[in-house]
Amino acid sequence: MESGKTTSIGKIAKRIKESGKSVMVAAADTFRAAAVEQLEVWSKRANCDIIKGSENQDPASVVFEAIKKAKENNIDVLICDTAGRLHNKKYLMDELEKIQRVIEKELPDADKESLLVIDATTGQNAIEQVKAFKEVSNITGLILTKLDGTAKGGVVIGIVHENKIPVKFIGVGEGIDDMEVFKSSDFVKAII
């Protein structure tokens, strides 16, 4: 689903870079060649390194290599881009689970975040997405994208309330600076 994962990674990478930390991105959406190219464009914009696998390489092995490189180069933050469009949902979830396992094994003591990106225009379907992702990953936060349109993303209120998962960032456009830290008071005002 094109919720804005890759775009959000570009935006976050730039923020982290500007805060003085080093960032690396891993192109673990190996299913589509275009996905790797897209992340490469964002890594250039954010001025950070990128680790790419070969086409159709196992995404978990790309993440494994990226962690190795990040360790070797003392990188502060590694962000892994994952696929949203695969043959079927089961395949996608198995892949995410495998990636999670590699990260847990290779970085047992690191601070880890697993962010689910939700398109504000998605509506009730977002609840299903959270349910599915919770089965394979410990979601630590949400990113709500496309709030620059007419959608207000009201569906996340229920999600946050029920799952106790915070919204970390909101996407407000397609540009690299079009991301804001989520402030619940502004959000509630916009919805009312």
Ligand X SMILES: Nc1nc2c(ncn2[C@@H]2O[C@H](COP(=O)(O)OP(=O)(O)OP(=O)(O)O)[C@@H](O)[C@H]2O)c(=O)[nH]1
Does 3 contact ligand X by CB under 6 A? yes
**In this structure, what token pair is assigned to residue 77?**
């933050």
Name which position in 3, 6, 43, 122 contacts Mg ion (CB under 5 A): 6
Which residue lies nearer to ligand X by CB, 141 or 173?
Answer: 173
Does 99 contact ligand X by CB under 6 A? no
Contacts of 116 (CB under 8 A, 6+ apart): 129, 130, 133, 139, 141, 142, 143, 165
Does 37 contact ligand X by CB under 6 A? no
Q: Where are the alpha helices (DSSP H) in the chain?
A: 5-18, 33-46, 59-72, 89-106, 125-136, 155-163, 184-191
Which residues in 14-33 contact ligand X (CB under 6 A)?
29
Which residue lies nearer to ligand X by CB, 104 or 186?
Answer: 186
Instruction: Find the shortest distance in angstroms from Cβ 101 to ligand X.
Output: 21
Give the interface segment with Mg ion, choosing from 5-13, 54-62, 129-137, 167-175 (CB under 5 A): 5-13
**In this structure, what token pair is assigned to residue 92?**
């996608």
Which residues in 133-172 contact ligand X (CB under 6 A)?
145-146, 148-149, 171-172
Which residue lies nearer to Mg ion by CB, 6 or 30?
Answer: 6
Is the separation of the CB atoms in 191 and 166 below 8 Å? no
**In this structure, what token pair is assigned to residue 142?**
């949400």
Exposure class string for 140-176: b at 16+ Cβ within 10 A, else e? eebbbbbbeeebbbebbeebbeeeebebbbbbbeeee
Does 43 contact Mg ion by CB under 5 A? no
Is the separation of the CB atoms in 141 and 168 below 8 Å? yes
Instruction: Find the shortest distance in angstroms from Cβ 83 to ligand X.
Output: 6
Return residues touching ligand X (CB under 6 A). 1-7, 29, 35, 84-85, 117, 145-146, 148-149, 171-174, 178
Return residues touching Mg ion (CB under 5 A). 5-6
